[in-house]
Structure 1
Amino acid sequence: MKTWNVYLSGEIHTEWREDIERATTAAGLPVQFSAPVTNHEASDDCGVAILGAEADKYWHDHKGAMMNGIRTRTLIGDADIVVVRFGEKYRQWNAAFDAGVASALGKPMIVLQRPEHDHALKEVDAAALAVAREPRQVAEILAYVINGSLPGATAAQAAE
């Protein structure tokens, strides 16, 4: 049986990743997850911590962005499906960029966002194959894609 590689991009301030992982584990789905570095300080400071300090904040951030880009591009490239979460509180420019990379690579994409972001994200949503509102829906999409099962279906029904 195929193990599906799912990349979870986007906001790092809620437990949406853990919610999806718990639901897919409970459903017994053969899924392996990857994600960007979600420790905000480590992500921001990795470049200067490894390559040396910068007096200018622009170059400080630039070094970190380049190093994080190595991880992000590699994991999105290896993904079977990319999930991009846009949260309520912060503008996730990095998530929008990840969505663009996934789209350019032809990766199937699921966007996870609240309805109030529909207009602002209309171009991102147009590139996605599904737009979900809750992490539970992402897990249900994965169950359907992997097993052909609808929410609440028994194992026998899914096997038909």
Structure 2
Amino acid sequence: MTLKVYLCGEIHTDWREQIITGSKAAGLDIKFSSAVTIHEASDAAGDCLGQEQNGFWRDHKSAKINAIRTKTLIEQCDLAVIRFGEQYKQWNAAFDAGYCAALNKPYITLHSEALIHPLKEVDGSAQAWATTPEQVVEILAYLLSDQLS
């Protein structure tokens, strides 16, 4: 069985690569997808609709185009991994977790213990909470295991 896993959230560290590399090393049959992780490209997604002088409208148009990708990939995945980093507030990741919950799509949150309280509702709907990419790989390995005993 090929598992489709959507990786979303924080874009400033290599957590995605750690999960992808760890999953390949474990021989897991997983197809990964992700939001655009190049900040400048994400911010410019709406520029094809015309230049904006006001930053709000540029962000608004880009957010809507990025939402097409995000919503489609969440709807198509079997499972999402949602990463919350320490440095920035990932409001989009919290929104993605809520969308997963609304679709009854299982998700794993990935964040440090320092964020337990601010993410208590997000974690409350998650099927698992991990603190390291290695833990996520272990969960994925278990899900793809055909050992029944």
Q: Would you say same fold, with TM above 0.5?
A: yes
Secondary structure, counterpart of 2:44 in structure 1:
helix
Which whole-Å deviations, capped at 9, do the CAs of 1:102-159 have from their partners, x for residues lacking one?
A: 11110111000000000000000000000000000000000001115xxxxxxxxx57
Aligned-pair identity (%): 54
Secondary structure, counterpart of 1:13 in structure 2:
coil
Amino acid at match of 1:34: S
Quick check: 1:120 aligned with 2:118? yes
Quick check: 1:11 aligned with 2:19? no
**How many Å separate the matches in 2 of 1:118 and 1:159?**
33
For 2:53, the equivalent position in structure 1 comes to: 55
Mapping 1:59-78, distance limit 5 Å: 59-78=57-76
For 2:90, the equivalent position in structure 1 comes to: 92
Calculate the aligned-residue CA RMSD, in Å.
1.1
Structure 1 runs of 4+ with >4 Å offset:
none
For 1:81, the equivalent position in structure 2 comes to: 79
Q: Which of the pair has the greater relative contact order for Cα pairs under 8 Å at 6+ separation?
A: 2
Number of residue pairs matched by the alignment: 149
**How many Å separate the matches in 1 of 2:148 and 2:132?**
26
**How many Å separate the matches in 1 of 2:148 and 2:110?**
28
Larger radius of gyration: 1
**How many Å separate the matches in 2 of 1:17 and 1:109?**
15
What are structure 2's unaligned runs of at least 5 residues? none
Amino acid at match of 2:31: Q
Amino acid at match of 1:18: E
**How many Å separate the matches in 2 of 1:57 and 1:100?**
26
What are structure 1's unaligned runs of at least 5 residues? 149-157
In the superposition, the TM-score normalised over structure 2's length comes to 0.97
Quick check: 1:108 aligned with 2:106? yes
For 1:155, the equivalent position in structure 2 comes to: none
**How many Å separate the matches in 2 of 1:58 and 1:114?**
32
